[in-house]
């Protein structure tokens, strides 16, 4: 999906502050409000913008301890993996869930009130499940997120290199 310079500018602006008015967005990118509004609607319709969310402070919600938990499932059948995935998604404290390749099948990002809760989650919930073959837990010291994500550069939009011809 090709995005032009205006699409990219609007995406950067809306990611920086999704609460900005359309008039402010239009002014920031140098177009009329009607143009900005139509482009944003098109980006939503095409699925480029999936929604708008509030960023919350996990510590303020009583969940100051974050951890990444890598989980290996055995046997790794589609049915077992999908059932485990849905079970994890419903658990309180799950911030993110990644289905991965490599040594582990899942990487869970969770936020809990304390290390005792993390220990109970891993020992009492995860390892009690018969399909869980292995668990590796890492406590997160700091979680920094990229605020603005630009579209990937496609081969058509990359500048071409010129060879020195002699």
Q: Which CATH number goes with the domain that contains 19?
A: 1.10.10.10
Q: Does 101 map to a domain?
A: yes
Q: Does 156 map to a domain?
A: no
Please enumerate, as own/partner, the contacts of 34-43 that have beta carbons within 8 Å and a separation of 24 or more: 35/6, 36/10, 39/6, 39/7, 39/10, 40/10, 40/14, 43/7, 43/10, 43/11
Q: What is the pLDDT of residue 148?
A: 87
Q: What is the pLDDT of residue 158?
A: 54
Alpha-carbon span 142 to 150, nearest angstrom: 23
Q: Which domain holds residue 14?
A: 5-45
Alpha-carbon span 62 to 44, nearest angstrom: 33
Q: Answer yes or no: do 70 and 135 share one domain.
A: yes
Q: Answer yes or no: do 74 and 21 share one domain.
A: no
Q: Answer yes or no: do 93 and 124 share one domain.
A: yes
Q: Does 81 map to a domain?
A: yes
Cα-based angle 60, 70, 116 (whole degrees, multiple of 5): 45
Q: What is the pLDDT of residue 113?
A: 98
Rounded-to-10 torsion of CA 72, 78, 84, 87: 160
What does the block give as tokens for 125?
């919930």
Alpha-carbon span 16 to 37, nearest angstrom: 17
pTM assigned to the model: 0.81
* pLDDT per residue of the chain (166 residues) written in tens, 0 to 9: 789 999 999 999 999 999 999 999 999 999 999 999 999 999 999 999 999 888 899 999 999 999 999 999 999 999 999 999 999 999 999 999 999 999 999 999 999 999 999 999 999 999 999 999 999 999 999 999 877 888 887 655 555 444 444 3
């Amino acid at each position: 999906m090709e995005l032009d310079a205006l699409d990219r500018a609007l995406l950067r602006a809306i990611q920086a502050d999704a609460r900005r008015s359309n008039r402010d967005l239009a002014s920031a990118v140098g177009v009329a409000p009607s143009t900005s509004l139509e482009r944003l609607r098109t980006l939503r319709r095409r699925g480029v913008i999936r929604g708008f969310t509030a960023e919350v402070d996990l510590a303020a919600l009583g969940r100051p301890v974050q951890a990444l938990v890598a989980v290996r499932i055995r046997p790794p059948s589609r049915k077992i993996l999908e059932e485990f995935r849905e079970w994890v998604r419903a658990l309180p404290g799950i911030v993110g869930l990644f289905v991965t390749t490599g040594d582990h099948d899942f990487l869970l990002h969770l936020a809990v009130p304390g290390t005792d809760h993390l220990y109970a989650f891993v020992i009492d919930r995860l390892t009690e499940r018969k399909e869980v073959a292995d668990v590796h837990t890492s406590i997160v010291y700091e979680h920094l997120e990229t605020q603005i994500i630009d579209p990937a550069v496609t081969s058509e939009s990359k500048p071409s290199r010129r060879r020195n011809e002699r």
